[in-house]
Amino acid sequence: MPHVNSADGTSIGYDRPSDEGPTLVLIGGGLDDGTENRPLGEYLGGRFSVVNYRRRGRGESGDRQPYAVAREIDDLAAVIDATGGRAHLFGASSGGALALEAAAAGLPVDRIAVHEVPYLVDDTMVSAWQAYRLELDAALGADDHDQALRLFMRLAGSSEQDIAGAEAAPVWPALRALAPTLRYDAACLGDGPPPANRLATIRQPMLLTTGITVDPHMAGLPVDFFGAAADAAATALPNARRDTLKVEGHVADPAVLGPILSTFFTG
């Protein structure tokens, strides 16, 4: 796997199966070690030079403290520089928030698409978000990765039964290893609501997609949670359009999302 060194020396790993077509960088969301976007990358690989990188602290990528969103923007800048100098971006979930922050920071990006960025637009959810950030810091400060994961799943609308099932699943140890990066996702989302002033500076064409409903394992969220978040972000962006997939899916089916992204990025 290729690696590139970020500005602070952190090694960032990425996949680039081919270098044919415009560069498209995929940015993963919470608790993703770089594998979640792989099926989408395979779908888009025939038309784009897809780059699927591991955000710091995940998979084969390194990490350094103290963390700052600016360091993650540096990581993305290094990946873009190593793979052609300019790129389209696709960001999933909190990775979409990072994509928007990177565009607002002036990285050399063209078109940007994001799927179900979990901005908080309801007062009740904003209060829950603020409490979550404090509780997450306390859990990780005590090195209690299990509790950090439980807090995240509750915030994301999982039932206690779903959480218990996840703890008993073979994947739980891998999630525990990724738990410290929940702080990184939280930092990318900031105070919760879309950062309207920064989004207003992004002039590139933007696509914001959501599923028609939330995933069943997120049943505790408001019915239009992601749609309301995307609508609020789109209002702040000067050159944005919205698209609702006619299926549920926080991790979107490549066969559904892929054609929409292909059309957008070649438009």
169-221, pLDDT tens digit by residue? 999 999 999 999 999 999 999 999 999 999 999 999 999 999 998 888 899 99
> For residue 196, how far is the Cα from the chain centroid?
18
Q: Report the pLDDT value the prediction gives residue 4, as an integer from 0 to 100.
A: 98
Three-class DSSP category at 11: strand
Average pLDDT over residues 83-97: 98
Q: Supply the CATH classification number for the domain 3-122+192-265.
A: 3.40.50.1820
Q: Report the pLDDT value the prediction gives residue 57, as an integer from 0 to 100.
A: 98
Amino acid at 18: S
Host H or E run for residue 16: none
Higher pLDDT, 252 or 27: 27
Over pLDDT 90: what percentage of the chain?
Answer: 93
CATH 3.40.50.1820: which residues of the chain? 3-122+192-265
User: Residue 78: pLDDT above 90?
Assistant: yes
Asked whether 78 and 6 are in contact (CB, 8 A), the reply is yes
Distances (CA, A) of 114 to 27, 45, 65, 72, 254: 9, 18, 27, 17, 14
Query: Dihedral through CA 117, CA 118, CA 121, CA 123, nearest 10?
Result: -170
Work out the pLDDT band at 224, boundaries 50, 70, 90: very high
Average pLDDT, the chain: 96
Average pLDDT over residues 237-256: 94
Indicate the DSSP class of residue 54: P
- For 146-173, how does the pLDDT look when each residue is reduced to its tens digit (9 = 90+)? 999 999 999 999 999 999 999 999 999 9
Q: Report the pLDDT value the prediction gives residue 215, as an integer from 0 to 100.
A: 86
Work out the pLDDT band at 80, boundaries 50, 70, 90: very high
Q: Helix, strand, coil: what percent of the chain each, to 5?
A: 45, 15, 40
CA nearest 236: which of 208, 265, 266, 213?
Answer: 208
Q: Is-cis flag, bond preceding 193, omega within 30?
A: no
